[in-house]
Amino acid sequence: MQASQTITVQRFSGFAPKFPPPPQSFQKPNNHVAFTPHRQLQQGSSQIIEFDGKRLRKAVTRKTVDYNTSVIKYLEARVWQRDYRDRRVVQPDPAYYIEMTPPLSMPDNPINAVTTKFVRTSTNKMRCPIFCVAWTPEGRRLVTGASSGEFTLWNGLTFNFETILQAHDSPVRCMVWSHNDVWMVTGDHAGYVKYWQSNMNNVKMFQAHKEPLRGISFCPVDTKFVTCSDDGTVRIWDFLRCLEEKILRGHGADVKCVDWHPQKSLIVSGSKDSQQPIKLWDPKSGQSLATVHAHKNTVMDTKWNRNGNWLLTASRDHLIKLFDIRNMSQEMQTFRGHKKEATTLAWHPIHEGLFSSGGSDGCVMFWNVGADKEVGCMEQAHDSCVWSLAWHPLGHILCSGSNDHSSKFWTRNRPGDRMQDKYNLNTLPKGQEESAEYDDSGTIASIPGMGLEYGLPDHLKPSGICYLFFFTWFLFKFIRCAV
C-alpha cells in the first residue's frame, strides 16, 4: 500500500502548482470572470454552446477553365503531327476531356470555338451597367468598365474578383489595348481620354471631345489613334504628344463607332445619320473616300477583319452586313437572325471567318462567313442590352458585358456534355429535349467477343445455338489435339 502511494506522488509531481493555494478564508471578488471553453456541454443535456463570434465563410466551389493542359497537349502533339490531318479524333464522351486542344490547333474546324456553355456571372457589389469589356493581352485578367466610372479586374481562370479602382468620374464608354500590348486607352461619357499601363497606372489624361466618347482605335504602328463622339466628328490624335492632328467631318449626327484598318491607312466610322451611315476616311488628307448606304438605321458597330479585306457592320435595323473592300458596290453577305437591334460585334482571334454578335434583347449569336444561318445562339444570355463582347486571346472563352449589371463568361462545350442548361437548349432542334433521349450511363461498356456480353442489346447477344456450336467445335479441337 505504501509503495502505490509513492508511485502516485512521483507520477503527478511534475504537475504541482508553482504557488501555494490561497487560504480557506479567501473570497473571490464579485466581478471575477472565470475562463470557460467556447464549446462546452451543458450539465444535464447534450446541447452544445456555440461561440457567438465571427465565423469563417463557407467553402465555395468555383468553376475553373484552365487552358494550360490543352496547350501542353497541343505542344506535345506538334512533335509528331504533320498537319491537322494527323489530329487525334475526339468522340462525344467524357473520356476524351484530355484530348481537347486550343482552337489554334483546329484551323479547319471553327465550329469547335463556338462558346455556348455558361461558366459564371460576375457582378460588382454596386450594381451598374457594364459598357465595355477587354481582356489583358496575356489573357490572365479581364477588365470591365462600368457606368460608375470604375474598372473591375476579374481573374481569367477562376473568374473571381481581383481588384477595383475608380478610373473615371463619369461612365467608361470604350477601352482598347495598343497593338504592342503596352498601353490601354479609355474614353468616358464626359469626353476625356486616359492612358493606362499594364499595371493599371494612369499616366495621362486630356479632354478629346465635349460630348460622350463612343469609340477608340489604334493605327497599325501605335503612333496615332482615332476617336469618335456624339458631337458628330472623328478625330485623329498623336499618341505621344496627345495633340489633335485631324478632324474628320461629314457625318450629320452622332458617330457611334470607329475602327482603324489593321494594315492600311484607312478608317471606317458608323453613325446615327441615315443619309451617311458608314464612311471610309483617309487619315492623311482627312477626306472621305466613300460613303456606304447599306443600313436604314443607326450603325452601332463596325469591325475590320484581321485579313484586311472584310468589313463587318451591325445596325439597329436588325441586320449584320459583311463587305469586301475590293468590291464595295454590294455587300458580300447579310446575316439575318437578330430579332431586335444588333449592338456589338467581335471577330474571333484565331478563326478568320467566325464572329459573335450581341443584341439589344440580350441575345448573343455566333456566325461563320459563308453559312446561311447562325452556328450558335443564346437567346437569353442577358436580361438586357449586350453592350460589349470580348474573346480571350486563345479563343476558348467569350465575355459579354450587359446593361443588366453583369459580365458573363462563356466557354466551349466539352466532349459528352449534355446540353441541359437554358442557354444550350436554344441550340437543339425545335421540340427536341435531350433529357428525353436514351441515356446509357448505367450500363457497362463491353465489346462483343472480348469478354462477358453483359449490358449488350438483345439483338447483339449470342443465342443458345451459338453457344452449343462453339462448345462442340472447342471439344472437337481438344479431342483431336489429344489424339
pLDDT tens digit string along 194-224? 999 999 999 999 999 999 999 999 999 999 9
Q: Is the per-residue pLDDT at 285 higher than 80? A: yes
Neighbouring C-beta atoms of residue 375, cutoff 10 Å = 16
Per-residue confidence (pLDDT) for residue 168, from 0 to 100: 95
Q: Is the per-residue pLDDT at 13 higher than 50? A: no
Q: How far apart are CA 467 and CA 117, in angstroms?
A: 48
The neighbouring-strand residues paired with 378 are 364
Q: Estimate to the nearest angstrom the gap between the alpha carbon of 421 and the chain centroid.
A: 17
What's the one-letter identity of residue 117?
K
Per-residue confidence (pLDDT) for residue 55, from 0 to 100: 62
Q: Is the per-residue pLDDT at 28 higher than 70? A: no
Per-residue confidence (pLDDT) for residue 299, from 0 to 100: 95
Helix, strand or coil for residue 41?
A: strand
pLDDT, tens digit, for every residue of 409-447? 999 998 888 766 666 655 554 445 544 443 444 444 444
Check: CB of residue 371 under 8 Å from CB of residue 355: no
Segment 126-131 shows an average pLDDT of 93
Give percent of the chain with pLDDT exceeding 70.
76
Buried b (16+ CB within 10 A) or exposed e, 385-400: bbbbbbbbbbbbbbbb
Q: How far apart are CA 412 and CA 399, in angstroms?
A: 12
Which residue in this structure is represented by grid cell 434583347?
A: 361
What's the one-letter identity of residue 311?
L
Q: Is the per-residue pLDDT at 454 higher than 70? A: no
Which residue in this structure is represented by grid cell 457594364?
A: 130
Query: Half-sphere exposure of residue 286, counting CA atoms within 13 Å on the CB side?
Result: 11
Q: CA angle 383-386-390, nearest 5°?
A: 130
Helix, strand or coil for residue 86?
A: helix
pTM above 0.85, yes or no: no
Compute the mean pLDDT over every residue in the chain, rounded to the nearest whole number: 83
Q: Is the per-residue pLDDT at 41 higher than 50? A: no
Query: Half-sphere exposure of residue 450, counting CA atoms within 13 Å on the CB side?
Result: 4
Q: Is the per-residue pLDDT at 32 higher than 80? A: no
